[in-house]
Chains A and B, each alone.
Chain A
Amino acid sequence: MTTTDETRSIPIVDDLTSEIPPVIDEEFTDESDEVEAFRPSKAGWFARGLVWAVLAWLVFAYPVNFFSPFNVGVSDADTASLAVIFAIVGLSLNVLLGYAGQISLGHQAFVGIGAFTSAYIVTDLKLSFWLAIAIAATFGAVQAAALGAISLRVSGLYFALVTLAYGTFAEEFLFGITALTGGEGGKPAPRPVAFADEYRYYFLCLGFLALVLWLDWRLTRTKAGRGLMALRENPRVASSYGINVKAYIMLAFVVSGLFAGIAGSLLAHHDEVIVGSRFNFQLALIFVLMTVVGGLRDRVGVVIGSVFFALLGSGKLVTMLNLGGFFEGVLGLPTEFVALVVGPILLLLTITKYPGGIGQQVAPIRVWLSGRRFDRHAGAVQEVEVNDVRA
């Protein structure tokens, strides 16, 4: 083994490139830069504007019977609020499942904790709804963080089992503590006076959905979201980029818990009496279904998927589309079970054939609406990737 004790100095850099013929590099040329940025024509702008207007009407006017030839009753507005609440849950689960790649089969517990916290604070502590929802969100986050800490020690698929056990534990044990949750009779959860009316409650829920969408949007556009995306796909490269993988996984759990707590509170006051048995395993599965079928990591898809499953589960969708006769008569399938049959079929289709879910199908329209050229292949996805866990 040779060693040297000369001082090691920096040699003068020789410029050798002049002696070697230039190499033609194999470049990958992306030609889109050479084309001018697309701008829609006048007709294109008009068409887009029209669709935006219809969508706005659908969200803001139709469910509350404002400026609408249809007669939307109170119970329909009630379902609309539920759909919005489901959308918030979907976004919550999407943070965990879609952005961070963590499986949660007990998400109904996250929502339930928020629900009972909120109900307790308003009913037993007699405090304001706004305080209640804030604390519900916090409790949701804390409980999610506890699970997050566990996920750091227990890998992928085994963590799925933990969330499964946790969900059952919450449903039967936590939500069975009569003093806190009112037992079989449930816990009353009165609405804030200003929003007691069905139509107004719908707008309250929409307001919170807008808040959650804003936070989710900023999450994905800033360092936290990028950190999650990197660590989900390749934790080694992510830590090499300077991302503290464990800390960001915890962040994902906390954000997911926050959103779920908000949804839980809204759900409790939507039902006005919240019962523990509402948070059963079937609900957990529906949450996973609607998020995966909606399309992981696609905000718009997840919202649509959640709304779809909320409407389907409550039977409203079948009624709206006048398919009750078809299902009941031709297929012998009562309306209340349609969701249970259609849901899993959609899930299996999504996983095997359409991995991007509803989000992928809708992506061309979404891209078009934002002023770009209509591209049939926008948002193409190869696989429903949650993560690459090998355990």
Chain B
Amino acid sequence: MGAQAWTWTAVAVVVVVLLAWTAWTLVRLRRLERRVTRARAALESQLRRRAGLADELAREHPAALGALRARALAEAAAEARSTPRGDREAAENALGRELRDLPADLPGVPASVQADLAGTSTRVALARRFYNDAVRDTQALRSRRLPRVLRLHAGRPVPRFFDIDDRLEELTASSAGSGSGGRP
């Protein structure tokens, strides 16, 4: 084979490898996109649930909360519900603050409502963490050189982190524990 044939072979190999890599990366990007969508849906539903519970608490148990606090909570819940997706963080933060400031025991409020509220707050934190994790994975892949140069998924918006203060340290730094301990 002459030098030219070698060159063509080399070019062909490079093209095939590049195509294979592109196909594989597109699979990953699509998978990540679905994961982000799922995680976002889970986060939205937990946030809606939290706002709904807060609203219910404010409307049905104003006596337990005190009129002032009940009004503030209702307003925060309404604000969180009505704000469009784009800049929800501030509204959700305000609602989270109101909920955290509630006294530990609310006389007259059924235990089930309080447990629901606590559970939903935990789930908001979980859902937010999993969503941000999916966003981080997507951004990491999108920002690599070849996907940028080849403009893979370039037309689609890069997902944004959702940042609210949800006392996440409870999930990341509190209870310690065990670890390597028993590996076989």
| Bound together | no
Chain B residues with CB under 8 Å of chain A are: none
